[in-house]
Structure 1
Amino acid sequence: MNFSFVSGELARASGELLVIPLFEGETGDTPPGILAGVHAALDSRLLAAAAQEGFKGKGDQSFVIHTLGKLAADRVLLLGLGTRARFTPEVLRLTAGRAAKTAQRLKTRTLVFAVPGGLEVTGAVRAVVEGLELGAYRFDRYKSSAREEKNAPKLTAVKLHVDGEKTKEQEQAVALAQRVAEATNWARDLTHEPPNVVNPARLAQAAQEMGREVGLKVSVSGRKEIEKLRMGMFLAVAQGSANEPQLIHVEYTPKNAKQAKQPPLALVGKAITFDSGGLSLKPTDSMVDMKTDMAGSAAVLGAMKVIAALKPPFPVHAFIGACENMPSGTSYRPSDVLVSRLGKTVEVTNTDAEGRLVLGDVLTWANEHKPSALIDLATLTGACIVALGNYIVGAFGEHDATVNEVMESARAAGEEMWRLPVTELQKDALRSEIADMKNSGERWAGATNAALFLKEFVGETPWVHLDIAGPSISPKERGYNAKGPTGVGVRTLVEYVRRRTTQLEADAATEAPTPKPPAAAKSPRGGRAKG
């Protein structure tokens, strides 16, 4: 989409669709300033017509009316924001997503979006742009009807109506929002693709293509290299499939030599490109969506696209172990004992608890790069969905400062998280009679048990595990999300890197020595010269 700014009288803003978000209480007899001119131009009938349809500005409410030539816009769309007291930028992001979907249904090419007054404008602009870009997303490349509608009108131009003149900060917010939304949509594409298209080799190829596009170093290793790294758990999960496993390493390194020597931030994404459950075979209904078991890796790769443009003053590395979990004569079995890269032995009690096995070896490898912090994203457990539902990420970790920083970044990015415990009280659930540990414990506290397993492979590094099993797929259309993959995690990781960059720059400014004033020049007689 092409975004531009407009100001002045809203009724004169030209476009096919004029979008006006409203809070509850702003649809009474005295319309707010943003709406007053539009209401008057429509012979003061807009609010009465909206009221007849039950529109009160509540969240998820909408109302569309033709202007019949009385405005520069063809239609007006009113969208409810709910109460102002409960407003967050995510409300506006979701609302903008609904605007994009309405524009699609109306086959609208141009849109004017009135950014609500009384808000922090730069943040509101970013939320609107992200919501519109995310809301306009569709994955229909395999539908014959989409080929027939290839030339159908699409939303291509958006005018953002703000009070006053545009600022440099607002323009920067638009650029950042577009990068983040486009990367999220790219992650959604990867996750949407069927497993016969995105297998481990294709995922590795996508990482390499992305690296060339944005200037990141991408290294890909196959089975022989993985064997040399002694990743016994990763290899066991992969051995049932005809598709070769791939170990992917993406590196962002600052050009400043001093900055490049800093310890990197390490991001790890789960990448089971299809999970049948292995010999512990899933039922059909549970297997249908298992092409999305690589959503964590898609989010990490999407975030790296944006991080390359942000150019933080510290290295950022992404580590991904990609494979399929398939049943065959060569599959790993319940009762097998595996030797991890760390040297710990693991008794397999359930081949459908495979993600933690691959992650364990990849986390060990990532930790050998001596990162300052380690964050992993994984569609790891159904138990986390039972606990938190379809829209909330489970966050685990013992390093309070790092966990809190990630959760604050998520909140600012509009991705909901809730912290769950990593407690030694559950450690007995993973105790094995014949090995150091089991890969799966009892039914209870399943998400915590999985986090405890991963904890064994991160040492003392500050570590955060994000279980995205629920939010990685939206069960229905909601705001800017369609039914299907969401790209959850991209926005959080980008915001975490941005905040960390800001903090480091602030610390550097504080620690910089105060420059000494220049020595005064001396006169020929030895006294000080007068200015």
Structure 2
Amino acid sequence: MNSVSGELTNLLESSRTVPMRVFVVSRLKKRGFQILPCFFSSSRLNVDQKGTVIGVKPSEVGTSDDADCQIDFFTKFGKKLAKTFFLEDIVKRTNFKGLKGQCLPLYGLRDSSLLVLSGLGKEDSTTFECVGDYIDDGINQLKESIRVAASVGVKQLMKDGCTVIEVDTMGDPAAAAEGATLATYHFHQLKTLKQNYSKNTMEDVRISPLNAHEEVCLQSWSKGVIYAECQNLARTLMELPANILTPSSFCERTVQLFNNFSDSVRCSIRDEEWIRGQGMEALYTVGKGSIEPTMFLEIEYCSSPEHAVLQDPLVFVGKGVTFDSGGISIKPSSRMEQMKADMGGAACVVGVIKAVASLGAPGRVIGLIPLCENMPSGDACRPGDVVRTRKGLTIEVENTDAEGRLILCDALSYADELYPDARAVISIATLTGAMDVALGAGATGAFCASRLLYTVIEESGHEAGDRFWRMPLFRHYQAQIKSDVADIKNVGGRSAGACTAAALLQNFISNKRFAHLDIAGVMHASPFEGSVCPYLSRGMQGRPVRSLIVLAEKLFSKERVYK
């Protein structure tokens, strides 16, 4: 390759301080290329620009601290591209090292499209390379690196105006598809002025696997897209404000969502008359302070008529409080707007069943979703009130802001009666602020009496990139929720708030294969906190939808039986 002049070298070295580095490469001689650095803003790119993401990692020779660190291209296509366009020589003159979270845009290499080299990081890394790196938590590091690399590359290309993007599958098409699809998400449905949202959105961008001709690769990619789209669905439901997503409209949207799955999915919407007829007074009491009617939504997925008679379905119970003001025990105004997402558990259940139905996974999955608003009014539940649950136990309401456990206890009692031999019963809820204090956005708190079931939950998280942390269900916590005037009370004091909430739920389920997932900490990522996952933007996260999809597949797999 021709030598680069000292002046050109200085220009390339100065590119380290430029936020965006774009190199226009032109062939001048048969024996090599002359590299001409050209810096310009993304706004000057063609709006119909095509883009390609190529995964790279630091070479085995050299270290990540070496300024001239060599890089390895992950796939055969990447290696061919690197050889054709002398990419390693270009990279040597930049500060790009192939670390996780790094990307290097190169313009004009392939069909006048924008090429982005996206770093996977070193496989044996034991130190943080970027925000969101997972260390010593069992997460599949290779899958997570691929998700991050795909997402970082796609975000860069979208920023530069690309609408047609090909992504290097990097040896795992499903993981690459997940990262790429999750990266495109941005909630903008309620914005009317174009300057108020990004140039390209997920509806404008077409993403496909690069050079993927094998059927197995395409199937794996499609599966990853479904996983990510269903998490994005949960994110959208959580982002919708409470004046748009009421209990009734949640049911209507869900029914419309499953219209294309009429052969395998059945939705049943229950009204207040049905709720009171079932003796679900705890659920009814929480919602009676709002003008919005309380609802109960049942979703049933059966992959085939044979599975419809299975007596051991997988049951998900999702908390569906579409807005939680706290009721008479009203919340502080700070961050109360986020309580539109107090139906995050319900959103996750819809996302999981949508994915299972889209994949045509074998088995029978049930979703039970109690829906209401928790509002203060003359009809609202008061502190000190005693309510009778569907199971017959009475609960003293000491704090009306501890409403999630009240609506879940009736739903769990219903599940316990209808599906006593369920393969597993899993409740998902943004239940307690105490869980956010304990674990933050780092992990979902998992309360599970069955070690075997928790193992499957944890394994699912490792595969999907979510952390779970097992929390205690000691009998000790039952003593904290004893009431002087009723069987139990809905709060157990300041100590162990998340544990006493889970302890209350245990009184309404007899199935030993029961798990309660408190997702309060992983619900949202603020602009100040950032996201734990680099491929998830700020806002509602939709976690842990992908883990629960993996869980459903594992629980119905032929290789392992969970009974």
- Find out whether 1:248 has 2:302 as its counterpart: no
Deviation at 1:485, TM superposition (A): 1.1
Write out aligned runs for 1:366-515 (5 A).
Answer: 366-370=415-419, 371-475=422-526, 476=530, 478-503=533-558
- Take 2:392 and 2:197, find their aligned partners in 1: how far apart are those partners? 56
Q: Residue 168 of structure 2 contacts residue 176 of structure 2 at CA under 8 Å; is this kept in 1? A: no
- The alignment's TM-score, normalised by the length of structure 1, stands at 0.85
The amino acid across from 2:124 in the alignment is A
CA distances 1:188-214 after superposition (whole Å, capped 9, x unpaired): 111111100001000111121123222
Is 2:150 the counterpart of 1:96? Answer: yes
Partners of 1:72 and 1:238 lie apart in 2 by 59
Gapped runs of 5+ residues in structure 1? 1-10, 509-531
| Pick aligned residue for 2:91 from 17, 41, 47 | 47
* Secondary structure of the structure 1 residue equivalent to 2:366: strand
| Counterpart residue number, 1:217 | 266
Instruction: State how 1:107-256 maps to structure 2 within 5 Å.
Output: 107-116=161-170, 121=171, 124-146=172-194, 154-161=204-211, 166-215=213-262, 216-256=265-305
Q: Which one-letter code corresponds to 2:549 in the other structure?
A: V
Give the counterpart letter for 1:495 in structure 2.
Answer: V
In structure 1, how many angstroms separate the alpha carbons of the residues matched to 2:231 and 2:248?
Answer: 21
Check whether the contact 1:39–1:47 (CA below 8 A) recurs between aligned residues.
Answer: no
Cα distance change on mapping 1:308 and 1:90 into 2, 3 Å: same
Tell me the secondary structure at the aligned position of residue 390 of structure 1: helix
Q: Deviations over 1:391-413 (max 9, x none)?
A: 31111110111121122112212
- The partner residue of 2:52 within 9, 12, 18 is 18
Give the direction of change, closer, same or farther, for the CA distance of 1:272–1:38 in structure 2 (3 Å limit). Answer: same
Query: 1:58 maps to which residue?
Result: 99
Does the CA-based 8 Å contact 1:136-1:480 persist in structure 2? no
For the Cα contact (< 8 Å) 2:70–2:88, is it kept in 1? Answer: no
Q: Does 1:262 align with 2:311?
A: yes
**Count of aligned pairs:** 480
- The 3 A distance-change label for structure 1 pair 373 and 37 is closer
Query: Could you report, residue by residue, the CA deviation over 1:40-62 in whole angstroms, capped at 9, with x for unpaired residues?
Result: 514753212332xxx32332222
- In the alignment, what sits opposite 2:120? 81
Aligned with 1:284: secondary structure?
Answer: coil
| 1:294-347, Cα deviation, whole Å (9 max, x unpaired) | 011011011111222334443211000000000001110111111110111111
Q: Which stretch of the first structure deviates more once superposed, 243-252 or 37-46?
A: 37-46
Assess, with a 3 A threshold, how the Cα gap between structure 1 residues 507 and 490 changes in structure 2: closer, same or farther.
closer
- Mapped contact 1:135–1:480 kept (Cα < 8 A): yes
Report the secondary structure of 2:381's partner residue: coil
Deviations along 1:33-92, one digit per CA (max 9) or x if unpaired, are 5555544514753212332xxx323322222233xx344353332223232025331232
Distance in 2 (CA, whole Å) between partners of 1:150 and 1:102 is 12
1:185 partner amino acid: N
Q: Is the Cα–Cα contact under 8 Å of residues 39 and 45 in structure 1 kept in the other structure?
A: no
Structure 1 pair 147–338 and aligned structure 2 pair: CA distance change class (3 A): same
Contact 1:377-1:489 within 8 A present in 2 as well: no
Map of 1:513 onto structure 2:
none
In 1, Cα distance between equivalents of 2:561 and 2:441: 38
The answer to whether the 8 A contact 2:342-2:430 is kept is yes
Segments of structure 2 that go 5 or more residues without pairing to the other structure are 1-32, 34-48, 126-140
Letter matched to residue 524 of structure 2: I
Q: Residues 311 and 42 (structure 1 numbering): CA distance in 2 closer, same or farther, change over 3 Å?
A: closer
TM-score by length of 2: 0.80
Cα displacement string for residues 129-153 of structure 1 (whole angstroms, at most 9, x for unaligned residues): 0111111011112212249989968
Distance 1:108 1:348, change over 3 A: same
Which amino acid in the other structure matches residue 156 of structure 1? R
Tell me what 2:131 maps to.
none
Equivalent-residue separation in structure 2 for 1:304 and 1:159 (angstroms)? 26
